[in-house]
Amino acid sequence: MKKSFIYTKTGDTGTTSLVGGIRVSKTHARLEAYGTVDELNSFIGMLLSSMEKSGIREFLIYIQHKLFALGSYLATDVTKTDLNMASCITEEDISKIENEIDIMDSELPLLKGFVLPGGSMQASIAHICRTVCRRCERRILELEENGVCEIDVRCKSFVNRLSDYFFVLSRKLNHLSEKEEIYWNKSCK
């Protein structure tokens, strides 16, 4: 029986390889960025595991594939290794998210205030995806701000739009499950 090489022991001293073989510390900012992308992808997987086949499910699987590509982009030091074109985010990818947002939003009641996370389990997981996506965005922007690397504007737009998508998705999932949205009570009473 052929065995997969799951453990290589090359990371036992606290380093790992970027795309192209360059070794960096496991605490490197790139790893924090693409690790957060991976975390988001895992939460999307959790959301998917609670869904029946639907257009929403198919779109989330598409997003998972694009997030894997984004992780590859973030793991590539383009000053030392050529970027694989499969790792690129395109204007079409951003437009697909915007289109999904517009379709869902057109089917929802107008917002009456700030929405608190909650409602159905699926909507709650979508809110977790939204907040992890925002952290992902911060980690990616940190790479640029700290001079680690420049980030393609399409990657930044994709992640920014994706968090908006998860907000609207949470509303849609509450609407589909006939759960009321929880609006922030400004008086906190």
Counting residues of the chain whose pLDDT is more than 90, the rounded percentage is 67
| Closest-CA residue to 64 (of 94, 49, 43) | 43
CA dihedral of residues 81, 85, 33, 127 (deg, nearest 10): -170
Q: What is the pLDDT of residue 1?
A: 74
SS3 76: strand
d(CA 165, CA 102) in angstroms, rounded, equals 9
Q: Does the structure show a pLDDT above 90 at 134?
A: yes
Residue with tokens 């900012």: 29
Q: What are the backbone angles phi and psi of residue 184, rounded to the nearest 5°?
A: -60, 130
The domains of the chain, with CATH numbers, are 19-106+115-178 (1.20.1200.10)
9-35 tens-digit pLDDT: 767 767 667 677 777 766 688 899 999
Q: Taking residues 142-154, what's their average pLDDT?
A: 94
Q: Taking residues 155-170, what's their average pLDDT?
A: 98
Ramachandran category for residue 81: left, alpha or beta (phi over 0 → left; psi -120 to 50 → alpha):
beta
d(CA 174, CA 156) in angstroms, rounded, equals 28
70-128 tens-digit pLDDT: 999 999 988 888 878 888 999 999 999 999 999 999 999 998 889 999 999 999 999 99
d(CA 91, CA 23) in angstroms, rounded, equals 32
Are residues 171 and 115 in contact, defined by beta-carbon separation less than 8 angstroms?
A: yes
Are residues 123 and 171 in contact, defined by beta-carbon separation less than 8 angstroms?
A: yes
d(CA 39, CA 25) in angstroms, rounded, equals 19
Q: What is the pLDDT of residue 79?
A: 83
